[in-house]
Amino acid sequence: MSTTLINPATEEAITTVPQADLEQTDAAIAAAAAAQEKWAALAPADRGRLLRRFAEVVDGHIDDLARLEVANAGHTIGNATWEAGNVRDVLMYYSAAPERLFGRQIPVAGGLDVTFKEPLGVVGVIVPWNFPMPIAGWGFAPALAAGNAVVLKPAEVTPLTAIRLGELALEAGLPEHVFTVIPGKGSVVGERFVTHPGVGKVCFTGSTAVGQGIMRGAADQIKRITLELGGKSANIVFADADIEAAAAAAPMAVFDNAGQDCCARSRILVEASAYDRFMSAFEEAVKGVVVADPSESATQMGPLVTKGQRDSVRSFVEDADEEVDVAFRGSAPDGAGWWYPPTVVMPRSTRDRVWHEEVFGPVVAVLPFADEAEAIAMANDTIYGLSGSIYTRDVGRAIRVSRGVQAGNLSVNSHSSVRYSTPFGGFKASGLGRELGPDAPDSFTEVKNVFIATD
């Protein structure tokens, strides 16, 4: 079995990639288990050195990796270059972890009590198509640093950069089978990570529905899991904010990566007294978004990843059973490619599908609110809780609202969500566990307590 990959901006076939079957997956897991023992037995400094070498090799291939992502996923060249650089940075950050995987010494009577952070063995990382490189790195870098071997399944439609990273790991000198990329179907390779007793943990990023299935499957073996799932994040703009700055920043907070971002601020809540001013500045900003060939450096937004994804996005606006009022739109190229213009809609109520379901495309819904309490209540009226933004000049309000919104990653007067040195993850149906930040390697270990009698 193999999959033909299509360039989303041109609809031209790029290449064909074989899909692993169950037997090949099992063989890769067995080889990873054997390699892991030697990897964990390496001196911590040597493991760190190899991860730094891996980072350096990635650094030497940033342009190739970025070009591959532009062709395979339709990411803009600017974004794809950042994404490849993120893999390098995450590897470099966690290359310090092997020598800092500290246990504790706990005072007890009659002896010495110490804890060790033991690797889990083989970790399965399952990656979605929206950020093929960064999401892979957030899983494999800390897992490897903690002494695990990693088997990684990229999404069916975007495997090329992950396959290349697997090759670069070998080029950097990582022992064979310590990091193995296995392209294949979710229902075959991904599910096998969940059912195989030799996989100690599954680190999954993707849709909430598939994540629920993984959680159910993991229960059979009490398998460790991390889940990074969907989002419907709110961008809350108070009237006391710098409205022009908030409106200028709002388009790329949702249209970046063509809205295919779990952290997309796809609901904008504007304090009623500033609504008209915000909308007029926002319209100008949305119309200015450059949607074009993703390989051009000036492009801000490319196409959607597949025709299926474009159809799904369109169904929220054009074929909806309920009427949706489009406030205004940006532009998109005609012709080949799965384009969809940046689109701003005004839901009739908070029950509208476009207000509460994840669109995962360049569509944002805007509603006014009356006061701080209503803004928090509206932001929290969702099953999700991944990220969000708060625009205000009032420091007290910024802190109150940040504490009030049930989400894992909030930013004030900014739309940033992910920094590799800070924890990332969701509340509620947006996930379970945290990635990145100083503690990520811990989540790929088991704590072992050892008591040594001295008497």
Q: Give the residue numbers annotated as catalytic, written as ranges.
A: 228, 262
User: Please, what sign has the CA dihedral across residues 66, 330, 409, 232?
Assistant: negative
Which region among 50-58, 125-133, 282-290, 396-404 touches ligand NAD (by CB under 6 A)?
A: 125-133
Contact present, 320 and 351 (Cβ < 8 Å): no
358 lies in the binding site for ligand NAD (CB under 6 A): yes
Which region among 48-56, 73-81, 153-161, 331-339 touches ligand NAD (by CB under 6 A)?
A: 153-161
Q: Two tokens at 387?
A: 């990220």
Which region among 10-18, 111-119, 205-213, 282-290 touches ligand NAD (by CB under 6 A)?
A: 205-213
3 lies in the binding site for ligand NAD (CB under 6 A): no
Nearer to ligand NAD, 247 or 386 (CB): 386
Which region among 99-107, 120-128, 373-381, 388-396 touches ligand NAD (by CB under 6 A)?
A: 120-128
∠ Cα 255 261 263 (to 5°): 100
The one-letter amino acid code at 449 reads: N
Question: Which alpha helices (H) appear in 305-433, and where do they start and end?
Answer: 307-317, 353-356, 372-380, 395-404
Contact present, 223 and 202 (Cβ < 8 Å): yes
In the complex, minimum distance from the CB of residue 409 to ligand NAD, in angstroms, rounded to a whole number: 9
Q: Two tokens at 4?
A: 């033909």
Nearer to ligand NAD, 156 or 256 (CB): 156
In the complex, minimum distance from the CB of residue 262 to ligand NAD, in angstroms, rounded to a whole number: 3
Could you give the string, one character per residue 322-351, with x where binding to ligand NAD holds by CB under 6 A and - elsewhere?
------------------------------
Q: Two tokens at 451?
A: 């008591």
Give every CB contact of residue 233 below 8 A, 6+ residues apart in sequence: 263, 264, 265, 266, 267, 384, 386, 387, 388, 389, 407
Nearer to ligand NAD, 282 or 360 (CB): 360
66 lies in the binding site for ligand NAD (CB under 6 A): no
Q: Footprint of ligand NAD on residues 408-437 (CB under 6 A)?
A: 426, 430-431
Bridge-based pairing of strands 149-153 and 179-181 is: parallel
In the complex, minimum distance from the CB of residue 201 to ligand NAD, in angstroms, rounded to a whole number: 14
Binding-site size for ligand NAD (CB under 6 A) equals 31
In the complex, minimum distance from the CB of residue 22 to ligand NAD, in angstroms, rounded to a whole number: 13
Could you give the string, one character per residue 24-63, with x where binding to ligand NAD holds by CB under 6 A and - elsewhere?
----------------------------------------
In the complex, minimum distance from the CB of residue 388 to ligand NAD, in angstroms, rounded to a whole number: 13
In the complex, minimum distance from the CB of residue 153 to ligand NAD, in angstroms, rounded to a whole number: 6
| Total Cβ atoms within 10 A of residue 123 | 29
124 lies in the binding site for ligand NAD (CB under 6 A): no
The one-letter amino acid code at 332 reads: A
Nearer to ligand NAD, 246 or 313 (CB): 313
Nearer to ligand NAD, 128 or 368 (CB): 128
Among 74, 159, 186, 342, binds ligand NAD (CB under 6 A): 186
* Rounded Cα–Cα distance for residues 387 and 389 (Å): 7
* Rounded Cα–Cα distance for residues 94 and 67 (Å): 26
Return left, alpha or beta for 53; rule: phi > 0 is left, psi -120 to 50 is alpha, else beta.
alpha
The one-letter amino acid code at 311 reads: D
The one-letter amino acid code at 62 reads: I
Based on DSSP, count helices (H) and strands (E) in the chain, helices before strands: 14, 18
SS (H, E, C) 79-108: HHHHHHHHHHHHHHHHCCCHHHCCCCEECC
* Rounded Cα–Cα distance for residues 91 and 452 (Å): 36
148 lies in the binding site for ligand NAD (CB under 6 A): no
155 lies in the binding site for ligand NAD (CB under 6 A): yes
Residue found under tokens 């000036």: 298
* Rounded Cα–Cα distance for residues 315 and 321 (Å): 9
Among 69, 191, 271, 352, binds ligand NAD (CB under 6 A): 191
Longest dimension (CA), the chain: 81
Q: Two tokens at 402?
A: 């940040």
127 lies in the binding site for ligand NAD (CB under 6 A): yes
Contact present, 287 and 331 (Cβ < 8 Å): yes
156 lies in the binding site for ligand NAD (CB under 6 A): yes
In the complex, minimum distance from the CB of residue 406 to ligand NAD, in angstroms, rounded to a whole number: 15
Among 32, 65, 169, 210, binds ligand NAD (CB under 6 A): 210
In the complex, minimum distance from the CB of residue 216 to ligand NAD, in angstroms, rounded to a whole number: 10
Nearer to ligand NAD, 143 or 155 (CB): 155
Among 144, 262, 289, 313, binds ligand NAD (CB under 6 A): 262
User: Please, what sign has the CA dihedral across residues 401, 433, 364, 284?
Assistant: positive
Q: Footprint of ligand NAD on residues 370-409 (CB under 6 A)?
A: 386
* Contact footprint for ligand NAD (CB under 6 A): 126-131, 135, 153, 155-156, 186-187, 190-191, 205-207, 210, 213-214, 228-231, 262, 358, 360, 386, 426, 430-431
